[in-house]
Structure 1
Amino acid sequence: MDRRITQRIENFGKRKKEKNRPRKGTSLLTYWTLRYFLILFAALAIVAGIALYGIRETAMENRSRTAAMLGQEVADRVKNSDGSITIPTNLNNILDERMGLFNMNLDVCLLITDPQGNALFSRPEMTEAQIRQKIAPSSRSKEPEYQLIRTPIIENGQEIGGVYISQFRKTPAYDSQQLMLFAGLFGIIALSGWFTIYLLSRKLSRPIRSVAESARQIRNGNYDVKLEVKTGERELLELVDSFRGMAGRLHQLEEWRELSLAGVTHELKTPVTSIKGLVMAVRDDVVSGEEAKEFLDIAVQESNRMERMVADLLDYNAFSSGNVEVRRDRLDLKLLVSEIVYQWKLPHECDSIEIDYAFPDEMVYTTGDALRIQQIVVNLLNNGMQAAHPDRPLRLHIAISESNGRIEVEVADNGAGIEEADRDYIFDRFFRSEKKKRQTRGLGLGLTYSRLLARAQGGELQLRSSGPSGTTFSLRLPS
């Protein structure tokens, strides 16, 4: 029983692997060249059939005209001015010469008759019954396979006899040399077309195959791919350039993912370790009295920091998965920003922070979510406080302006600024500059989350400027 169960499990695993295994289809080169060759061959075969039929019908028509000309010449030679018919003694020689000149086959029959239908001459010699059959073939006989051409012998307006020429209808209209030439041309055209599409398909498939091989390496975890493709087609160049950019971006994201995971682990592990050490010191009576309370206060502060980091991570994940609702309310932006700054400043009354405003005199309204705007502005204020320069007091400048149907909220500080090498990455998730890592703890999600919130409300968050004299962020909102 156990063996049967084990065997079933193994068979199920094999079937699952075979199901998940990628199918190997036909290569682009084989697919297109084979189908193009079949289509080209079928098209050429149809064209060749129509051409052969047309050539044969044209040849049969020309043979009929030639036979009529021969019959007229024979009629002119055998008639006399007195209305009688005389067969020349050299008529067979004349016929041989004319048939050779007109390229007529030897199976042609020629009859000369009087007005009563009596045979005066036949070539080849035939019996009376055969002559009658040639002149008036029955419907049951095989004679309809022959083409009968009659030329009357006319003298002084009266018919004094007739010349009958019978030739086989199924006589080939072209010889073997013509057929070989035609078949050769057919083969050359087919092979030329196939070779052309083969070269084009191979030229097209090479860069695609290189891109597919590079994608396979990326799937296996090797991001250091070198895609060397030489092509002159614009679409292929765009494909290759886009893939190179994608590979570079994936490589960068993979490095950031590893660094971010290590950074997040480190940032969360540090307060946990600190809290654990402080609590154990109090539990084991290493410290007591006021010092023990101080240790517990520090533990509470560390737990609050860790709680904020976990909250940032949860908020970012919730928003990225689309589980955060953004309201669309009509808001008085001047009043809202004033309340946000006032509430933010209350816990920092003891800090030497100067805040000045530049608001327009008229009312400024926007459409958005008050809670989400508060999260963005508070995060920008916190960043300004963290960027404070040690040699000068912190001063924050809050400005609101409106132009071209857009409302702009500027938050500027007089801090140390952002390093030029870091400015392109400050909105990337989990990114934190080396300077900020040494000064404050965090996950590097504040600006990333703030930009997502701004875009969800139809706005945008940008870094306006940064330098040794300070940094300015711009939040644009719809009016």
Structure 2
Amino acid sequence: MFIKNNKCDNGMNNPNKEKRISLKQYWTRRYLLTLCMGLVVIAIVSAFWIRHNTLENRLNIMSLLADSMADRVVATNERAVRPPDFFHERELKTELEIDPFTYIIDTDGTILSSNRPRGPFEQQLNPTIIENKESIQKVDLIGQEFYIVKSPIVVNDSVIGWVLMVDSKDKLTHVNQEYTQLAIMIISLALLGWAAIYVLSNRLAKPIRDVSEAAKLVAEGYYHVDIPNESKEKEVYELIQSFKEMTKKLERLEALRTELLAGVTHELKTPVTSISGLLQALKEEVVTGDEAKEFLNISLNEVEKMKTMVEDLLAFNQFATNEVPVNKAVHSSNEVVKDAVFSWQIAQKEEIEINLSTLSTPVEITVDPIRFQQVMTNLLNNAYHAMEGEGEISILMMESETEVMIDVSDTGCGIPEEEQPYIFERFFRGEKKKYKIRGLGLGLALSKMISQALGGDLILLKSSAEGTTFRITLPSATAKMHTTE
């Protein structure tokens, strides 16, 4: 018998449920770690630099003091006797903060006098120290590194002895005040840097946190979010602004979706109800003869309207998913426009005059005539409905170096200014058109998609109470050829 284990893993094996930390904590920690590592490196380099400079300065001062002591020995013209003022211990401690061993020796290396009875040398120096011409020497004595500073005692141009100052490297490089100042400076920089990082991270995290909270509300279907956008940073400002625009568009699309459901339900319910009633009357023989035929014709017209709406939906979905092939070929611009206008005119129940101005010299364009005819049919239908059967439709063709432009104008009531930004959105229908003309609001959106698929575009050129003008642009075949070459 198999038993299925339905216990929940509580997210332990789900990588998407691992614990997350806030942006402020994440970057503050990492910035602080980077800052501390940098300050540690600076502190180490600074400590070595302080040790090196301290050693150099103290050796230089020891050299000056050794020269001064040698001059005093010559001035007193005494040898082997230590004058009482030769060893200025207080002076050395004040200048150097150390107390070096000081020796007066003869040319053989015998120690004649020293400031302390015990030191690294007993009675005799190694001859190599005296023979070495360097005034500052580094030697290993009793397991430590020592520096020796020597200055010659010269009388009548003859060296009669030496003044030596000796001290260990540890004492010469030992400092307290400088290290304390360095530590205070490093700690101050660390605290200041951490405070600056904290403030900046919080400033960066706050607008992102606001956007995140607003996104949760949008995900729950609440679109009325107000995010303050006072950021000085360009990227953060653009992020918030883009999010606001996205929210408004989502709200608009949600409203359109609701309208679509209501519109499709209404548009399909009305003909279905009408057809059902007409067929019921025929079935029960309420009408007969010519009246019955008229009922059948009305039913067929309603079926045709339903068929058109369904075809519009299918065509739009196919274009939206790039599943409809566009067979572009080179055609004469004048002929393509004339054929599209003629096809629309003969399909109308009443004769409608169209003022068509073609190009004086026909230009070849790359186009799919069938798809272009769909665009023209939609624009001409919209123009006719806008004029309510009264007015004039004008089509003006123009050309530029790269494209042909077809302007379709009417003398209707125009499109309200507040509706103009949305006319190419799918399922959008103006307030006036919504109650007068049945449809799904896909005509202009589909026409724009077709125009773009042909390599051109469809735009609203102008609209006012005096009329509306749409412009179709199509690439000329010659321009495409030059581009290819």
- Return the TM-score normalized by structure 1: 0.85
**What's the counterpart of residue 443 of structure 2?**
446
Contact 1:81 1:155 in 2 (8 A): no
One-letter amino acid of the structure 2 residue matched with residue 119 of structure 1 = I
Question: How many angstroms does 1:117 deviate by?
Answer: 3.1
Question: How many angstroms does 1:144 deviate by?
Answer: 4.6
1:140-179 equivalences under 5 Å are 142-171=142-171, 173-179=173-179
Question: How many angstroms does 1:115 deviate by?
Answer: 3.2
**What's the counterpart of residue 47 of structure 1?**
42
Question: How many angstroms does 1:312 deviate by?
Answer: 0.5
Q: Distance in 2 between matches of 1:377 and 1:127?
A: 111
Residue of structure 2 aligned with 1:120, choices 112, 124, 134: 112
Contact 1:410 1:475 in 2 (8 A): yes
One-letter amino acid of the structure 2 residue matched with residue 102 of structure 1 = E
**What's the counterpart of residue 393 of structure 2?**
396
Question: How many angstroms does 1:437 deviate by?
Answer: 3.2
Secondary structure of 1:67 counterpart: helix
Question: How many angstroms does 1:174 deviate by?
Answer: 4.8
1:477 aligns with 2:470: no
Contact 2:47 2:179 in 1 (8 A): no
Secondary structure of 2:398 counterpart: strand
1:60 aligns with 2:68: no
Deviates more, 1:249-258 or 1:63-72: 63-72
- Cα deviations across residues 179-228 of structure 1 (Å, max 9, x unaligned)? 32221122112222222232222222222222222222212221100112
Q: Distance in 1 between matches of 2:397 and 2:117?
A: 120
**What's the counterpart of residue 430 of structure 2?**
433
**What's the counterpart of residue 34 of structure 1?**
29
Q: Distance in 1 between matches of 2:312 and 2:207?
A: 44
Question: How many angstroms does 1:380 deviate by?
Answer: 1.9
Deviates more, 1:114-123 or 1:328-337: 114-123
Question: How many angstroms does 1:136 deviate by?
Answer: 7.0
Secondary structure of 1:431 counterpart: coil
1:87 aligns with 2:81: yes
1:461 aligns with 2:454: no
1:235-250 equivalences under 5 Å are 235-250=235-250
Contact 1:80 1:86 in 2 (8 A): no
**What's the counterpart of residue 375 of structure 1?**
374
Question: How many angstroms does 1:59 deviate by?
Answer: 1.8
Residue of structure 2 aligned with 1:74, choices 69, 78, 82: 69
Question: How many angstroms does 1:264 deviate by?
Answer: 1.7
One-letter amino acid of the structure 2 residue matched with residue 75 of structure 1 = A
Question: How many angstroms does 1:354 deviate by?
Answer: 2.8
Q: Distance in 1 between matches of 2:393 and 2:98?
A: 112
Question: How many angstroms does 1:300 deviate by?
Answer: 1.8
Contact 1:78 1:86 in 2 (8 A): no
Contact 1:460 1:477 in 2 (8 A): yes
Q: Distance in 2 between matches of 1:417 and 1:97?
A: 104
Contact 1:154 1:161 in 2 (8 A): yes
1:207 aligns with 2:207: yes
Q: Distance in 2 between matches of 1:19 and 1:280?
A: 62
- Runs of 4+ off more than 6 Å: 14-17, 133-140
Contact 1:114 1:161 in 2 (8 A): yes
One-letter amino acid of the structure 2 residue matched with residue 98 of structure 1 = E
1:98 aligns with 2:98: no
The number of residue pairs the alignment matches comes to 468
1:308 aligns with 2:308: yes
CA 405–168 in structure 1, closer or farther in 2 if over 3 Å, else same: closer
- Return the TM-score normalized by structure 2: 0.84
Secondary structure of 2:27 counterpart: helix
CA 172–215 in structure 1, closer or farther in 2 if over 3 Å, else same: farther
Work out the percentage of aligned pairs sharing the same amino acid.
Answer: 35
Question: How many angstroms does 1:458 deviate by?
Answer: 2.4
Deviates more, 1:291-300 or 1:314-323: 291-300
One-letter amino acid of the structure 1 residue matched with residue 474 of structure 2 = L
Question: How many angstroms does 1:362 deviate by?
Answer: 3.2
Contact 1:113 1:161 in 2 (8 A): yes
